[in-house]
Structure 1
Amino acid sequence: MKGSVDLIVGLGNPGPEYQFTRHNMGFMVVEALREKYRGRWVVMPSHSMHAKVSVAKNELTLLCPLTYMNNSGKAVKDVVGWLELEPSQILVIHDDLDLAMGRLKLVSGGGSGGHRGVSSVLDALGTNQVPRLKVGIGRPRFSEDVVDYVLSPFGEDELPLLEQVIQKATYSCELLVLEGLPKAMSIINSLKSMSKGGTS
């Protein structure tokens, strides 16, 4: 496999009340990949659900931890051990407050940026050298509490843009698998952001 990524993890919170919240962006992208490649979710004893898919003959495991965001690392570590993977073979997808809605950033490592789900994964794996796809959700306007903001659903006026963002993120995952991390980073991180009216 050229991209050497074998496990794609989406971070989020389980349950219908969180399904379309900003903090569940990772879940949404992984679900879009599962649907596109016709994978089937299987709930695992390690408090997660996984699906096997094939992207251009590259066999991948998609994973959504069911531990709630702040404890995501336990589920990820269990599955990484089960699959006998190195951290470099994982892609973690998560929301990012510091990127505007419509922006994506693929990174090869680095700190959590205050994202507790990411912190949990990095702590559990004992390294910050884990490839991650950051999906921008922007910061709250006015004086809205950050926790309330990330746990709130997207507004009706944001849904068309949300659909575009998810499509762009799934494309980014495919690009990583097919072309490898350095080339994927070069392409994805140079893509223009999107606005409600399209690209900007």
Structure 2
Amino acid sequence: MKLIVGLGNPGKKYEQTRHNVGFMAIDHLSKKLSLEFDKNKFQAVYGTKMIDGEKIMLCKPLTYMNLSGEAVRPLLDYYGMELEDLLVIYDDLDLAPGKLRLRQKGSAGGHNGIKSIIKHVGTEQFKRIRIGIGRPDPRMDVIDYVLARFSKDEQPLIDEAIARTAQACEKWARSPFSQVMNEFNG
């Protein structure tokens, strides 16, 4: 089984904000696969679906961003999944809006949700898809920026990035992640 986790903050007030692009990607993929989030355990909502003989679990932690690892670790343990079967989707300030970056491992890069996952799984060795949200104007506070909605100019770029992220996740069900990286990076 493969676990695909989208990072974000639960609750209406955070829906469609830059920091919730991981949730948006998971929601898009769940609709595409007709997957229901029919489980609510381990501080997360999740559901599973078979894709070409591979069981895929989509997950949205309900811990709030900075504590995401508190949901991810128990899921891995309970279902006996290895770290090589984990893929995390999240926002990245250092990438232009809509740009994707797929990696096999890496540091948290200042992202508190990733810091929490690294802390709880004990390593930086897990797959990730970063979706660019761009940087705020220097006069704007970063927290206010990530908790704001996308501009009208950014939204089409984000929608396309979310669709490509869903395609990359589906491809990972059938292909090695290195092939997925070659196709979707950039």
Q: TM-score range by the shorter chain?
A: over 0.9
SS in structure 2 opposite 1:78?
helix
Match of 1:26 in 2: 22
Q: What secondary structure sits across from 1:32 in the alignment?
A: helix
Note the 1:64-75 alignment, pairs <5 A: 64-75=60-71
The equivalent position to 2:2 in structure 1, one of 3, 6, 10, is 6
1:101 maps onto 2:97 in alignment: yes
CA distance in structure 1 between the partners assigned to 2:73 and 2:162 by the alignment: 26
Q: Structure 2 counterpart of 1:93, which letter?
A: I
Please, which of 31, 34, 37 is the counterpart of residue 33 of structure 2?
A: 37
Equivalent position of 1:196 in the other structure: none
Q: Aligned Cα RMSD in Å?
A: 1.3
Counterpart of 2:176? Answer: 180
What is the alpha-carbon distance in structure 2 between the residues aligned to residue 55 and residue 138 of structure 1?
33
Instruction: Please list, as runs of the form range in 1=range in 2, the aligned pairs for 1:115-134 lying within 5 A after superposition.
Output: 115-134=111-130
Conserved 8 A contact 1:111-1:128: yes
How high is the TM-score relative to the length of structure 2? 0.95
- The equivalent of 1:111 in structure 2 is 107
TM-score (normalizing by structure 1) = 0.89
| Structure 1 unmatched runs, 5+ | 192-200
Larger displacement relative to structure 2 (133-142 or 90-99) = 133-142
SS at match of 2:8: coil
1:162-173 alignment to 2 at 5 Å? 162-173=158-169
Distance 1:15 1:103 in 2: 26
1:7 positional shift: 0.4
SS at match of 2:136: coil
Following TM superposition, by how much is the alpha carbon of 1:56 offset from its aligned partner in structure 2, in angstroms? 2.8
Larger displacement relative to structure 2 (31-40 or 41-50): 41-50
The answer as to whether partners of 1:34 and 1:53 remain within 8 angstroms in 2 is no
Question: Does residue 1:54 correspond to 2:50, yes or no?
Answer: yes
- Secondary structure at 2:81 match in 1: coil
User: Is the aligned partner of 1:155 residue 2:154?
Assistant: no
1:141 matches 2:100: no
1:15 aligned onto 2:21: no
Give, in angstroms, the shift of residue 59 of structure 1: 1.4
User: Does the aligned pair in 1 maintain the 2:164–2:184 contact within 8 Å?
Assistant: no
The percentage of aligned residue pairs carrying the same residue is: 40
C-alpha displacement at 1:43, in angstroms? Answer: 4.1
Change (3 A) 1:45 1:58: closer
Match of 1:83 in 2: 79
